[in-house]
Structure formats: C-alpha cells, structure tokens
Amino acid sequence: MALNRRTLLKTGAALTAASMAPGIVRAEGAHWRVAASLPMTGPFATAGQLVAPAFSEFEQQVNDNGGIGGKPIRVEVADSGYIPRNALANFQRAQAAGDLHFYYGDSTGFMELVGPTLTGDNAVMMGSTSFASALSDPANRPYQFMAGPTYEDQFEILLRDIANKGGKTVAFVYSDTEFGRDPIEHGRQVAAELGIDVVLEEVTRAEGADIENHVTKLAQANPEYTILQGYVTGVWPQLIGGARAFGLTTQFMGTFWGMEKIIADRVTEQAGPFLDGYQGVMPYRYFYDQDEAPFYQELGAFKRSVNPGFSGYVTAWELEGRLCLELWKLCMERVIEADKEVTPDNLMAELGSIRNWDSGGFFGAPVDVVDNKIGQGRVYRYDAETRLYNPVSDWIQV
Amino acid sequence: MGQFIQYIINGVISGSILALIALGIVAVFKATKVVNFAHGHLILFGAYFYFTFSVVLADAPFMPAWVSSWEPAWLIAYAGDAPMFSPRAAIASWVSDLPRILLGLVGALAANAVLALIIERLIMRPLLGQSAFAMILSTVGLIWVLEGSAGLIWTAEAEQVPALGPNFPIRFQLFDQNLFLFSGSLVNLLVALLLFASLMLVLRYTRSGVAIRATAEDQSTAYAMGINVPRVFSTAWLVASTTGAVAGAILASRNGLSPAIGLFGLSVLAVVLMGGLDSFAGVLIASMLVGILSSMAQWKLGGGVAEIVPYVAVLVVILIRPHGFMGQEEIERI
C-alpha cells in the first residue's frame, strides 16, 4: 500500500483517537458527574454566589467519605447569568462532555425550557431552585423534582395557618411574572374552601413597583393578612415599609424566596426595623436552629474546619441546593445497593419511593416524596431585634 | 370622589418624577437634536452613585461615625421614644441620615456629571457633523455599555437607600374625604418641580440658556453668532446627567435600587414623544397625564393592564399629533 500524505494523516488521526479512547472511557467511568447552572452574575448574582458553596462542599464531603458506592463524584458549576438559554447551553455542554448523573438548574424558566427535551438518552435527574407547581408532575416531567413544597403548597400552608388563627380576609400581592402568578389560582380555591375572603389581588412590577398606588389599594381593601409572591430581594421590603408608614396593620406573609434572613437583616440594617413581625412559609429549619438537626451540626463543623472565618449561618437558599444534592445522593446509594443500573429512570423511581425519610433536620418531621416534591413547611416570624425568624406554627403537611 | 382624588394625587407624584426624567431627554434634544436613548441608564448610574456615596462610602470603616449616623444629644432627646413612622421619629431619623444623604447627593451629582462629560467628549463630540441618526444609534449602543458596566461595578441585587426627605403619612381632608400622601413623596414632588422650574428659568433668562435655545434653533447660525456650540452640547449633557442623578436618587429611595431603573428611564421616552421632544412645557403636561392615567389604570384595571394603558394613550396622541402636544413641527425646505 502506498503511504501518501493523506493516508498518513488519516492513520495518525485514527491512532491518536484509538489511543485516547480508553482514557476517555476511564475518565467517564471514574466519577459520578454532577453539573449545575447558577446565576453567578446578573440580577440574582448574590443568590447564586451564596448557593455555590453547597456544590463545592458537597463534592469535598462526599469524596472525603469515599464517594458514592466507592466511586468519587465530580461537580461542575457554570454561570447562567439567570438567563434560561445560557443555562440550557451549560446543560448541553455538560451532557456533551460525558455521562451526567445529576443536573441542578437555576430557574423556573430553565426547567420549563429543558423539561420537554429530557427524554431517551437526554434524560437526566434534575433538581433546581424552582418551586414552580408545574414541575411537580411526574407524568409530564418524569426527571425533574423539587426539594420542598411547590409555591401552591406554600400558599396553602399560609392559608391554612391563617384559617387556624381565625383569619377571615386576605390579599394576594404578586409580581407580574410566572413566578408571581404560579400559586394564585390555587390560592383562590384554597381560600374559598377555608372560608377566607380574598379581598384584593394586586399585580405589581417585579422590580420598581409603584408602591404608593399599591399601598393605597391595600389600605382600601384593608385585609387582615397579605400574602406576597414572586419577589426575591426587591419590592416586598418597600411595600411593607410603605404600608407600615401608612399605618396599615395587615399581617404580611411571604414564600420561600422572600424569607431569607440575610435579606431581612439587610433591610433592617439599611432602612429600620419595620419588617418586625413579617411572616412566611419556610420548608426547612433555619440554620441556627440546630438542636434537632444533626445534619446542620455536621455541616457547620465541616464549614468551620475548611473556613475558620465561617459566620455560622448558612442561607436557606444554599440549604435548598444542598438538599437537592442530598436527595440525589440518597437515590444513588439506594440504586447501587439494590444492584441496579444507575439510570435516570432508576434514580427517579427511588426518589418517588422515599417515605418517612429522616432528613437530618432540614425538615421538622420525617418526609415523603410524592409527585416529585416534599409537601411540608412551617410558618416563621421575623424578629427585627434578635434578627431571627422564629417558628409560629407546627410543621404543616400538604 | 375621595378615592378618585387620592389616585389623582398619586398620579401627580408619579408624574413629577417622570417629568424630572424627561427633563434630561428634552435638554439634550433641544441642544443637540439627539434623542438620548441612554438617558434611563444615566439615571441608573445616578442611582448607583447615590447608593455608593450614601450607603457604601458613608458606612466605610474609614469614615467618621457621624457621617453614617449623626446623633447629637438634642436629636436623641427630640426623637425620644416616638413610635417608628410617627412624624417625630421620621424627622429625627431623616436628620440623623442627613450627612449621608448630602454626601450621596453631592457624590452622585459630581460622578454623574463626570460620566456625562466623558460620554459627550468621547462618543458624541467626535460624531459632530455626522447625521443625527448616527448619534442616536450611538446612544442606543451606550445603553448596553452602561448596563454592562453597572453589572460589573455593582451587584444587581435590590438595595435600600436613604430617602431625600422624612417619610411619614400626611392625612388631610378635601371635599370631606380622608386623603393621604407620604411626606417623602411630597419632598420628591417639590424637588422635581423646583428643578423643572429652575431649568426653565435658566433657559429663559440666562446667557447659557439663550445659547442653548439659539443652538436648538440653528447650529450653523449659532456658530456664526459666536456661540460656543460644543460647550452648549456639554452643558446640555451636564443638565441631563445632574437632573438624572437626582431622579435616580428619588427612584432608588422610592422603589428600591435595581437595574430596572434603567428600563424605567427608557420607557419615559414615550412620555417625551407625547409631550413633544423639544418642549419642556409639553413634557410636563404629558408626564402628569401619564402619571395620572397609570394611577387610575392601577386603581380600576389592576397591575397587568395598568402597564399598558398610558402607553396606548401615548400612541393615540402621537397618531393625532405626530410632534406631540407642544413639539415644534419640523418644516423641511426642498
């Protein structure tokens, strides 16, 4: 055979590929791969940067303890800027780089976008920051789950708490976003069942809302309770401040993303203690409530060991990310123990079979995973003097 | 009737802030014939500068403690144990914050002025003599430059900044109806109207005002008459940036500081078109009208629709009067 230049190049390329292939195969098989998109820049950069340690520390802790089923894990985090198409591109890159065993998304938008593509070989077990009700749908979204109650569930927990306390009137104030609108229809139904009158439904901008008009409408409706939905760091503090300045006594309540202690503390620091008494639903214990939370104690000790300057507080946002990872790890261990193949279907089947699980303190009572979610939460109240959210209800199951 | 008046009051307050924003767009257009699409983002920078000076710098460890919180004995005695949001507590809290508010305002005015001069010298002036279209497009490009830069310099999280005035509810009766407004909003209204009126007086009665008006009429003739046209351009950008800084501080203290301020400022362009690009009086009327319409729509139709209604009105006005309420019709000689 004549060895011309083209043949030489082809042969060289083939030999190189053949010699590297076993290495690639070994690399794929050597780790369980976890990837995530987080908003390290953009409107929720602070949230993304606060959640990020959950991933690096999970990797270190799991690998220090021998990995999962004797195999180490590898965690890759990419910035999405809170743009769903960026997160989708991150996900596709992670998939193209080899076997992917878990993915963590950064938003409802991304989860909606990627959901329909998770079929066949593209299927991956997937958690996220989102509590959107549409994601709790095993029939249509068999690979997506959430580590807590949906926004609808959270609304229901609040409305049940209001009913338990004899409340008769409520206002729903929500941002003009998918996030804001998510639980409103369900909230109307539950309120009607519980005999609570929804005296106002007020839509606001997600940022830069016209506080004066919203406060005027709240004053006219004069609800005993006002539930806020669809905000993270903005609008809700200004609205509560405006209402309090006006002299409204309505009890404000929020859901998961409006319940972070560091945000309430920052508002108190910058604008005064008017958030005192603000309540809301939180699926998890706050990190400072460690007496019955061995996992929190262990996590705190680990954080202190790797970072002597650790403040002692872990945000609820980070805890949510960590819980998603812990649920995946639990499913992995159960699948491996059962000597089954690690596939998204087997992992999700294990997730769906979780009953009476002791989470180590995230939740106040053992929990079940039903419809790819955990329907438990508790109502907390912010104390501006101690800067703590304190529980004002038992753990409520929905 | 009472509710109607209440929403008129709310609308006038919103309208005054729109007018303050619109002021900068008209000032630049009158002098340079350039519609500054990036004005909202100049306001955004003004808001972030106000935050930087009044919160970040004021609380910095190297600053004297009185800048962060000025609490002389007489002020503590005055505040006593007044409940939060009572007029006395609000005034005491505002006086205590005065050093940081002043630092914030002075810093924001100066920093925004420097920013505007840089933009004018580096981007706009080299385009002098080019078509107005090229200059307008460069302001569109500036939006992304400013937005990206803001994202790099500051986090995009919503922050709290001190209000320009004490904030407590003022309750009063009008036509036998109980009405209210926040004192902080009243201060914002007064500041906005005062700035608006001052600028109109400056344009009418000062040499630089006359120079701006002459340049607006005809740049070539203004040159021929010995007017320093590039300086007029700089002055117009200075006016836009400094009024924008005040607007930014007001918006940040009223609605919270977030990148949404830039987009809000951009939306005011529609109000300016409604009033007339080159008419201060026209944009004042349009701002009040849009403010009141927004407020009424919020009252009667709710949030989602309230966002659209005022801009439908803008479109209708532009269809009927393409040059706005009081804009000068351009006559092209062929």
pLDDT digits (tens, 9 = 90+) for B79-99: 888 888 889 999 999 999 999
For B184-227, the DSSP string reads HHHHHHHHHHHHHHHHHHHHHHSHHHHHHHHHHH-HHHHHHTT-
| B215-250: b (≥16 Cβ within 10 Å) or e | bbeebeebeeeebebeebbbbbbbbbbbbbbbbbbb
Q: Do B167 and A245 touch (CB under 8 A)?
A: yes
Residue found by looking up tokens 């082809």 in the block: A10
Distance in angstroms (rounded) separating the CA atoms of residues A73 and A63: 7
Q: Is B183 on the interface with A (CB under 8 A)?
A: no
* Residues B105-130, mean pLDDT to the nearest whole number: 92
What is the rounded distance in angstroms from the CA atom of residue B238 to the CA atom of residue A358? 63
Contacts of B161 in chain A (CB under 8 A): 270
- The DSSP bridge pattern shows strands A197-204 and A225-229 to be unpaired
Asked if the ipTM is above 0.85, the reply is: no
Helices (H) and strands (E) in chain A, counts: 13, 12
CB distance from B6 to chain A under 8 Å?
yes
What pLDDT, on the 0 to 100 scale, is given for residue B332?
A: 62
Q: What is the mean pLDDT of residues A141-153?
A: 96
* B307–A contact, CB cutoff 8 A: yes
Residues 6+ apart with CB under 8 A from B93: A272, B79, B166
Q: Do B303 and A202 make contact, defined as CB atoms within 8 angstroms?
A: yes
Q: What is the number of other CB atoms lying within 10 angstroms of the CB of residue A352?
A: 17
Tokens of B149: 């830069």
Whether residue A308 is predicted with pLDDT greater than 70 in this model: the reply is: yes
Task: Evaluate whether the domain defined by A30-148+290-367 bears CATH number 3.40.50.970.
Answer: no
Q: Which of A200, A264, A201, A256 is nearest to A237 (CA)?
A: A264
Residue with the bigger pLDDT between B148 and B240: it is B240
Mean pLDDT value across chain A? 91
pLDDT, one tens digit per residue, over A325-382 is: 999 999 999 999 999 999 999 999 999 999 999 999 999 999 999 999 999 999 999 9
Residues with Cβ < 8 Å from A383, sequence gap 6 or more? A276, A389, A390
- Which residues make Cβ contacts (< 8 Å) with residue A366, sequence separation at least 6? A356, A357, A358, A359
- Is residue B48 predicted with pLDDT exceeding 70? yes
B151 and A216: CB-CB below 8 Å? no
Residues with Cβ within 8 Å of A3's Cβ and at least 6 positions away in sequence, in order, are none
Residue B97, domain member (yes or no): no
Residue with tokens 């009126």: B197
pLDDT at residue A13 in the model = 55
How many residue pairs bridge chain A and chain B with CB atoms within 8 Å of each other?
115
Q: For the CA atoms of chain A, what is the radius of gyration? A: 23
- Taking an 8 Å cut-off on Cβ atoms, the answer to whether A247 and B169 are in contact is yes
Nearest chain B Cα distance for residue A174, angstroms: 10
Question: Which residues sit opposite A376 in a β-bridge?
Answer: A397
Select the residue of B157, B180, B256 nearest A246 (Cβ to Cβ): B180
- Mean pLDDT lowest among A260-264, B51-55, B223-227, B254-258: B254-258
Q: What is the mean pLDDT of the segment spanning B216-234?
A: 86
**Which of A176, A235, A270 is nearest residue B160 as measured by Cβ atoms?**
A270
pLDDT tens digit string along A191-220? Answer: 999 999 999 999 998 877 888 889 999 998
- At A29 the pLDDT is 74
Residue B85 to residue A245, Cβ atoms within 8 A: yes
Q: Which residue, chain included where needed, has tokens 């959901």? A: A115
A30-148+290-367 with A151-282+377-397: one CATH topology?
Answer: yes
What was the pLDDT predicted at B223?
Answer: 85
Q: How confident is the model at residue A19, as a pLDDT?
A: 46
Pairing of strands A279-282, A376-383: antiparallel
Are B84 and A244 an interchain contact pair (Cβ–Cβ within 8 Å)? yes
Residue B138 lies in a domain: yes
Give the closest of A208, A270, A274 to B255, CB-based.
Answer: A208
Instruction: Give the domain CATH number at B248.
Output: 1.10.3470
Token pair 């043949």 is found at A7
Q: How many CB atoms neighbour CB A46 within 10 A?
A: 22
What is the rounded distance in angstroms from the CA atom of residue A290 to the CA atom of residue A280? 20
User: What percentage of chain A has pLDDT greater than the value 70?
Assistant: 93
For chain A, which residues make up each domain, given as ranges? 30-148+290-367, 151-282+377-397
Q: How distant is the Cα of B330 from the closest Cα of chain A, in angstroms?
A: 36
The number of domains in chain B is 1
Per-residue confidence band for A247, with pLDDT thresholds at 50, 70 and 90: confident
Give the per-residue pLDDT at B333: 62
Q: Please indicate whether, in this complex, the C-beta atoms of B14 and A210 are within 8 angstroms of each other.
A: yes
- Closest A-chain CA to B85: A245
Closest CA to A109 of A44, A203, A49, A46: A44
Q: Is residue B121 part of a domain?
A: yes
Please say whether the beta carbons of A379 and A158 come within 8 A.
yes
State whether B156 and A216 contact (CB < 8 Å): no
**DSSP 8-state secondary structure symbol assigned to residue B57:** I
State how far residue B155 is from chain A, nearest Cα, in angstroms. Answer: 7
Q: Which of B180, B251, B303 sits opposite A203 (nearest CB)?
A: B303
Q: How many CB atoms lie under 10 A from the CB of residue A373? A: 24
CB-CB under 8 Å, A266 with B302 = no
**Distance between CA atoms of B219 and B231, rounded to whole angstroms?**
12
Coil, strand or helix at A132: coil
- pLDDT tops 70 at residue A27: no
Disruptive mutation site among B258, B268, B300 for chain A (greatest number of A CBs within 10 Å): B258
Tell whether B102 lies on the interface with A, counting CB pairs under 8 A. no
Query: Do A212 and B182 count as a contact with CB atoms less than 8 A apart?
Result: yes
Contact state of A274 with B84 under an 8 Å Cβ cutoff: yes
pLDDT tens-digit series, residues A274-304:
999 999 999 999 999 999 999 999 999 999 9
Is residue A77's pLDDT more than 70?
Answer: yes
A266 contacts in chain B (CB < 8 Å): 160
Tokens of B205: 């009665």
Nearest CA in chain B to A276: B84
A169: left (phi over 0), alpha (psi -120 to 50) or beta: beta
Separation CA A380–CA B223 (nearest Å): 69
Q: Looking at CA atoms only, how far is residue B253 from chain A in angstroms?
A: 9
Q: Which of residues 198-237 of B touch A (CB under 8 A)?
A: none
B290 located within any domain: yes
Contact B184, B253 (CB under 8 A): yes
Q: Are A207 and B151 within 8 A, CB to CB?
A: no
Res A26 pLDDT > 80: no
Q: What is the mean pLDDT of residues A1-12?
A: 54
User: What tokens were used for A46?
Assistant: 């602070």
Asked whether residue B58 is assigned to any structural domain, the reply reads no
Question: Average per-residue pLDDT in chain B?
Answer: 89
Contacts of A274 in chain B (CB under 8 A): 84-85
Q: How far is CA A322 from the centre of its chain?
A: 9
CB contact under 8 A, A176 and B307: yes
Contacts of B256 in chain A (CB under 8 A): 207-208, 234-235, 237-238
Find chain A residues with C-beta within 8 A of B168's C-beta: 245
Calculate mean pLDDT across residues B48-75: 94
Dihedral over Cα of A272, A277, A280, A284: its sign: positive
pLDDT of residue A25: 38
Rg (C-alpha) for chain B, rounded Å, is 21
Q: Which of B90, B258, B302 sits opposite A234 (nearest CB)?
A: B258
State which amino acid sits at residue B27.
A
Residues B143-181 pLDDT 10s: 999 988 988 888 666 678 999 999 888 888 887 777 888
CATH classification code of A151-282+377-397: 3.40.50.2300
pLDDT at A332: 98
A360 — alpha (psi -120 to 50), left (phi > 0) or beta? left
Q: Which chain A residues have any C-beta within 8 angstroms of a chain B C-beta?
A: 41-46, 176, 201-214, 216-217, 219-220, 232-235, 237-238, 242, 244-247, 266-267, 270-274
For residue A24, give both structure tokens: 């690639």
The distance from CA A211 to its chain's CA centroid, rounded to whole angstroms, is: 28
- Output helix, strand, coil percentages for chain B, rounded to the nearest 5: 75, 5, 25
Q: Report residue A220 as tokens.
A: 């006219």
Residue A184 to residue A84: CA distance in whole angstroms:
24
Reported as half-sphere exposure (CB side, CA atoms, 13 A), residue A36 has a value of: 28
Residue type, B17: I
**What residue numbers bound the domain in which B286 lies?**
2-47+103-320
Evaluate if residue A23 carries a pLDDT over 50: no
Residues on chain B touching A206 (C-beta within 8 angstroms): 260
In a domain, B85, yes or no: no
